[in-house]
Structure 1
Amino acid sequence: MGIEQNWAGNFRYRAVAVEHPASIDEMRSLITRGGQVRTLGTRHSFNDIADTDGTLLALDRLPIEIEVTDTVDAVRVSGGARYGDIAPVLEEQGLALANLASLPHISIAGAVATGTHGSGDRTGSLSSAVRALTIMTASGEIRRISRGEPGFDGAVVSLGALGAVLDLTLDVEPTYQVAQFVYEHPKWDAILDDLDAVTGAGTSVSIFSTWQRTDAADQIWVKQRQPDARSSDRAELAHRLEAEPADGPRHPILGADPAAASDQGGLAGPWFQRLPHFRLEFTPSAGAEIQTEYLVPRADAVAAIEAVRSLADRIAPLLFVNEIRTVRADDLWLSSSYGTEAVALHFTWRSDEPAVRALLPALEAALPASARPHWGKVYTLDGADVRARYPRWHDFAALRNDFDPERRFVNAYLQRLGL
C-alpha cells in the first residue's frame, strides 16, 4: 500500500508498507511475519508516535464491535472504532460515557493510548474509563488485562509500545442530557483571580483565546449536565468576568463557520451531541493545522497561563486558538494527569510547522517544569526531560519489556524517550 499522511496533513508516514487487515487472524499473520510494526487508528496524532520504519497496520477495515456487558455498566468495543461510532449505539440502549473529547472522530484505541481527554474538574481522561483491554503482542499472543490487575495502570496509556490493542471495555452510565452556553470577552485578570471558580462553573468548561489581546479571552464554553442547577452560578460568573452571552452560535476558532460546532444557547441535547465541540459529520477544528498541548498540575495553572500571556506577541501570529480546560487526576502511569488534578493548555496552530517548532522551546521554557506534553501532539522537549515528569516511567519500561521483549513495536518516537 502507498504511504499515507496524518489527518491534518502535517506529517507523512515513513513506513515501508501500510496494511489494512480485515480480521484478527489477518492482523496476527501480519504482526508475526517479523520486522518493526505499529498500529494506526484515525491518524489524528500530529507527530511520529504512530509511525514506523516497518509496517503500519491500519485498523480501518477491522469489524466494529460494540457489546454492552451483562451487568449493563460497561461496553466492550473494538479498538479501531471511533467514539462517534459507539455513542449513538449506547444512546439507543439508554447508556452514556462520562466524557468525550472535543472531536468524536478519533479512534478509541488511539485516544486511550495517548492519554487524550475531554474536560471537567470532576471528569477523568478518556483513558480513565477503561476497565479492561485486549492486546495482541508481537508473538501473536492475546493478553487481556483488567483494572486492579498488576500492570493494568501501565497498560492503558501505552503509547502503542505493548502491542496492538484489539478491544477495550469502557465504563458506562445511564444516559443524560447536556446544555451548552457560550460567553464572550471574559477578562483574564478576573479568570486568573479565581480559576477554580471558572473551571467549576459547569460540568465541562473551556476557555478559548487567540491571544490577539491580553486583557480578555475570546470565549468561555460551559457544558452543563441537565437538569441544570447552576444558572445563577453562571450568571454571577459572567458578571464577575465582565463577559456577555454570545448572541448566536459560535465556532471555537473566531470567524469559522459555526455549523461544524455542537449546539449552544442552552439547548439541551444528548450527551454525545454536546460534550464534543464538533459534529461528527463535519471536518472538525481548522482541518489543516498543527496541535500542541501541555498539562500542568492545578497548583501551577495560573503561572502557566501567565507564561503564555507573556509570549502572546509571539504566539498570536501562529495561532488559530488556544483552549484551556481541566482533567481529574488518575493513577495511569503515563497519563498526563497521573497523580494530579490537571489543567490543559491546548494550542491549535496554523500550518507552519517550522515556525511553530521554532517557537516551542521558548514556550516550554516559560511553562512550569511540571508541564507534561500530550503524547500525540507536537513538542520539542527532550526524552530525558519528558521521562522525568512521570514517576512510574521505569515501571512502564519494565512492563514494555514483558510485553515486547524483542522491541518490535518500538519506533523512533519511543527511542527518543529511552524505550
Structure 2
Amino acid sequence: MDQLQPARNWAGNYSYGAPRLVRPASMEELQQLVAGSEHVRALGSRHSFNDIADSPGTLAVLDLMDPGTSVDPDTMTVTVSGGTRYGTLAAELERQGYALHNLASLPHISIAGAVATATHGSGDANPNLAAAVAGLEMVTANGDVLVSRRGDPGFEGMVVALGALGIVSRLTLDIEPSYDVSQNVFENLAWDEVLDSFDEVTSAAYSVSLFTDWSGETIGQAWLKRRMDSADSAAADLRRFGGTPAVEARHPLPGVPGSNCTQQMGVPGPWSDRLAHFRMDFNPSKGDELQSEYLIPREHAVDALITMRRLSSLVTPLLLVAEVRTMAADNLWLSPNYGRDGIGLHFTWRQDQGAVEAVLPLLEKELAPFTARPHWGKLFSAGAADIRPLYPRFGDFTALADRLDPTGKFRNSFLDRTVFGT
C-alpha cells in the first residue's frame, strides 16, 4: 500500500489538506484502510475544481487496483474498478466490440469520480454517465462491502453520492454494440436563429455542443457528433442557421490548434475516439483554467440563454469559453438532471479564482428563477440551504447517509457546507 503526500487538483487551484494519501493495491487493503481510518475519502483523477474530494484524514487513490474489466454479453454490462479511467475502459470495450452510450469531454477522468458527481456528456436523448450504472460495490464505514443493483432499495441514492456513503470500488455499467461516430464543426451560427430553433439545433446530431463567450451576435462553434448507425445521421448540418463548416480541425478555445482534439472533418471512426472532445493520448493542460456549470430544465433553455447573453459584460471578461450542452432526465436522487431533461451551461474561466468567486453569487442569483442546479465537482457558491429545495429526494439522501455512515467517516467540509449544513 503506497503512501504519498497529497497534491493539487487537475487545475492547480486547490491543494488537498488531507495529512496522508494512500494507494491500496487490493480490495483487502482498501477494506483495512477504511475500517482503520477515522476519516477517509476516495480521490480520483482530481478533475474537481473544489474541495469535494478532500478529507480531514486519509485520501485513498484506487489507481493501483486491477481494473478487472469483465463483460457480460448476456446482460450487456461491463464491470470495472472505480479507479479506472473512462478512456482506458473505452479502448478495452471497443477492442471487444462494445460501447458506452456516451463519454464526457475528457476521457481521462475516473469512472467512480465522474459517476459520483453526475458528470455528463451531451445529447438530447442521452442521460449523464451515472445513468448507465447498473450496479456498484462499495466499502462502507466498518470496512464491509455493500453490493447494490438497479432496482434495490436506495440504489438511486447510492450512485450519485458525492463520496458521502463509502468508497466505490467497482461499478457495473450498461453497454451496447460498438458503433461509429463522425464529428463536424460549424462556426459562427447566428444567435437569433439558434434561439428561434433551439430544439432543432440540439437534435441535429447524437451529441451537440455549442461554444461561445456569450458576446456578439454569433456562436463561435457548434460540434456535432453523429452516430453512423442512426437513420437520421445525415441531418447533422447547421448551415441553415448561418453556420459555416470548419475547413480544418478546431479546438474549443480560439487560436489553439485542434490537433489535441478528437477526429473532426466528418471522418467516421469508433465511438471511443469521437464522443469525447479531447484525445486520450493528449495530456490536458493544467493550471490555466477554472470551471463552473449549472444544469437547467429544458423548458427554460431559451430564457436561460437570453439571460446569459444579457450578462455578457459580467462573465465574458473572465471567460476562456463557455459550452452549452443538453442531456436527458434520470432518476438518481442527487443528479442535477433528476426528473428533468436539461441543458448545461458550462463556464471555463480564466485562472483568477478571486474574480470568479466574486461573480458566482451574482450569476447564481440570475439563474435562480430557472431552478439551476450546480455541478457538484465545479466552482459554485450555493450552500445546503440553497441546494436542498432543488432536489425532491434530498432528505432521502441525507437519511441514507446517516444510516450508512453514522459517525461521518466520509464527510468533509464540502459536504458539511453543501449537503448536511443548515
Relative to the length of structure 2, the TM-score reads: 0.96
Q: Which AA in structure 1 matches 2:308?
A: V
1:48 counterpart = 2:51: yes
SS of corresponding position for 2:138: strand
Contact 1:238 1:244 in 2 (8 A): yes
Distance 2:157 2:393 in 1: 8
> 2:354: which partner in 1?
354
Q: Equivalent of 2:105, from 98, 102, 107?
A: 102
Q: Which AA in structure 1 matches 2:137?
A: T
Q: Equivalent of 1:140, from 139, 143, 149?
A: 143
SS of corresponding position for 2:323: strand
> 1:216: which partner in 2?
218
Q: Which AA in structure 2 matches 1:248?
A: E
Distance 2:100 2:219 in 1: 30
Distance 1:253 1:305 in 2: 20
1:232 offset after TM fit, Å?
5.6
Distance 2:99 2:151 in 1: 23
Q: Which AA in structure 1 matches 2:411?
A: V
> 2:411: which partner in 1?
410
> 2:34: which partner in 1?
31
What does 1:129-208 align with in structure 2 at a 5 Å threshold? 129-208=132-211
> 2:382: which partner in 1?
381
| Offset from partner CA, 1:151-185 (integer Å, 9 cap, x none) | 00110000000000010000000000000010000
SS of corresponding position for 2:356: helix
Moved more, 300-309 or 319-328: 300-309
1:300 counterpart = 2:300: yes
Q: Which AA in structure 2 matches 1:393?
A: F
Contact 2:7 2:16 in 1 (8 A): yes
Moved more, 65-74 or 400-409: 65-74
1:4 counterpart = 2:7: yes
Distance 2:28 2:224 in 1: 45
> 2:20: which partner in 1?
17
Distance 2:284 2:13 in 1: 16
> 1:274: which partner in 2?
274
> 2:392: which partner in 1?
391
Cα RMSD, aligned residues only: 1.3
Q: Which AA in structure 2 matches 1:214?
A: G
Q: Which AA in structure 1 matches 2:257?
A: D
Flag structure 2 segments of 5+ consecutive residues without an equivalent.
Answer: none
SS of corresponding position for 1:186: strand
1:233 counterpart = 2:239: no
1:230 offset after TM fit, Å?
4.0
Closer, same or farther: CA 368–191 of 1 in aligned 2, 3 Å: farther
1:314 offset after TM fit, Å?
2.1
Distance 2:303 2:391 in 1: 21
Q: What number of residue pairs does the alignment pair up? A: 416
Contact 2:382 2:418 in 1 (8 A): no
Distance 1:108 1:29 in 2: 23
Relative to the length of structure 1, the TM-score reads: 0.97
Moved more, 170-179 or 27-36: 27-36
1:30 offset after TM fit, Å?
1.4
Contact 2:10 2:286 in 1 (8 A): no
1:203 offset after TM fit, Å?
0.1
Q: Which AA in structure 1 matches 2:337?
A: S
Flag structure 1 segments of 5+ consecutive residues without an equivalent.
Answer: none
SS of corresponding position for 1:102: coil
Contact 1:303 1:368 in 2 (8 A): no
Distance 1:225 1:285 in 2: 29
Distance 1:181 1:173 in 2: 24
Contact 1:253 1:285 in 2 (8 A): no
Distance 2:5 2:118 in 1: 29
1:31 offset after TM fit, Å?
1.1
1:122 counterpart = 2:122: no
| Offset from partner CA, 1:349-406 (integer Å, 9 cap, x none) | 1111101101111111111431000000000112211111001000001111121111
SS of corresponding position for 2:29: helix
1:228 offset after TM fit, Å?
5.6
Distance 1:244 1:287 in 2: 33
Distance 1:232 1:168 in 2: 35
Contact 2:226 2:233 in 1 (8 A): no
Distance 2:235 2:28 in 1: 55
Closer, same or farther: CA 88–232 of 1 in aligned 2, 3 Å: closer
Q: Which AA in structure 1 matches 2:412?
A: N
1:283 offset after TM fit, Å?
2.5
Contact 1:101 1:276 in 2 (8 A): yes
| Offset from partner CA, 1:131-150 (integer Å, 9 cap, x none) | 00000001011000000111
> 2:341: which partner in 1?
341
1:234 offset after TM fit, Å?
3.4
> 1:310: which partner in 2?
310
1:72 offset after TM fit, Å?
5.4
Distance 1:203 1:116 in 2: 18
Identity level (%): 49
